[in-house]
Amino acid sequence: MKDPVFKGFSPKTFQFFSELKENNNKEWFDAHKHIYESELLNPLKGLFQALYPIMYNIDAEFEMRAHRAISRIYRDTRFSHNKDPYKTFMWMTFQCPVSREEWKDLPGYFLELGESSYTLGLGLFQPKKKVMDSLRDAIIYESEEFQRITQETVLDRGYTVNGEGYKRPLPNDLPEYFQQWFQRKGIWVEKVKPIEEELYSGSFADLIIEDFKALEWLYNFMKEATE
């Protein structure tokens, strides 16, 4: 089957999320599965294909199979107290394909879509301590360039720095700017925006491409520092 062309999402996409939140059961989902496929899954596949060329240029090793890069809406409830069978959000990632454990030590891009907002981001989400130590060493070594470029391409574009912090700050001699990057067990940058008219057009893909291209320097910095 040919991949769908991305023409934007629709109000029905986010209405589906809203109604699923109130009716998170198999009977309701089965009755509305055609909406899930036409208004959410197929547009996500189309968006993934629209992003494919630029993401391939950023890193040709990214997982480029849509069924691997786009999340499932079905939840694994075996080990969870929450027995709702479906997620009320979905996402796609661009990351090098590795084992179930190794992915934690590699940076990746993500786009998450929910009922009332979407999130763009990039980062290291569950890295080993040695990976973060290597990243911190790289920040120290290239501190001037790191601050200049991340200020312009990350913070000035509305991204915030996130990740679990240490209870006891790690000692270092870096200025205050660097502490938000330095004092983390894992680290990612993200920008959360409300669902507005921009998502209802195919040009929404261009907005994401612009942001993801801006984050390319940080992606390469993270990848090289942690190899």
Query: 58 lies in a domain?
Result: yes
Interhelix angle 216-226/129-141, rounded to 10 degrees, is 120
Does a structural domain hold residue 210?
yes
Q: What is the pLDDT of residue 15?
A: 97
Q: Which helix (H) or strand (E) holds 119?
A: strand 117-124
The answer to whether residue 113 sits within a structural domain is yes
Question: Is the residue at 21 inside a domain?
Answer: yes
Q: Would you say residue 2 lies in a domain?
A: no
Within a domain: 1: no
Query: Is 145 contained in some domain?
Result: yes
pLDDT above 70 coverage of the chain, percent: 96
Query: pLDDT for 37-81, tens place per residue?
Result: 999 999 999 999 999 999 999 999 999 999 899 999 999 878 778
Helix (H), strand (E) counts: the chain: 10, 5
The sheet with strand 160-162 has its strands ordered as 90-94, 108-113, 117-124, 187-194, 160-162
Domain count, the chain: 1
Range of the domain at 112: 11-226
Q: What is the pLDDT of residues 171-193, one digit of tens each?
A: 999 999 999 999 999 999 999 99
Q: What is the CATH number of the domain that holds 210?
A: 3.30.930.20
State the virtual CA torsion across 49, 61, 110, 160 in degrees, nearest 10: -130
Determine the Cα–Cα distance for residues 138 and 188; give it in Å rounded to an integer. Answer: 16
Helix runs in the chain, H state only: 11-22, 26-31, 33-35, 42-58, 66-69, 129-141, 143-153, 179-182, 204-214, 216-226
Flag whether the pTM goes above 0.85: yes
Q: What value does the mean pLDDT take over residues 140-153? A: 97
- Supply 37's token pair: 């496929």
- Say what the pLDDT of residue 169 is: 92
Question: What is the model's pLDDT at position 22?
Answer: 96
Rounded Cα–Cα distance for residues 222 and 126 (Å): 14
- To the nearest whole number, what is the mean pLDDT of the chain? 94
The pLDDT, as a whole number, for residue 44 is 97
Residue 1 has pLDDT above 60, yes or no: no
pLDDT confidence of residue 142? 96
Q: 3-class DSSP state for residue 90? A: strand
User: In the predicted model, is pLDDT for residue 147 greater than 90?
Assistant: yes
Q: What are the residues whose beta carbons fall under 8 Å from the beta carbon of 108, sequence distance 6 or more?
A: 93, 94, 95, 96, 122, 123, 125
| Chain segment 117-144, per-residue pLDDT in tens | 999 999 999 999 999 999 999 999 999 9
158-168: average pLDDT: 96
Structural contact between residues 6 and 43, judged by C-beta atoms closer than 8 angstroms: yes
Residue 26, in any domain of the structure: yes
Report how far residue 128's alpha carbon sits from residue 133's, in angstroms, rounded to the nearest whole number: 9
pLDDT, residue 99, reads 64
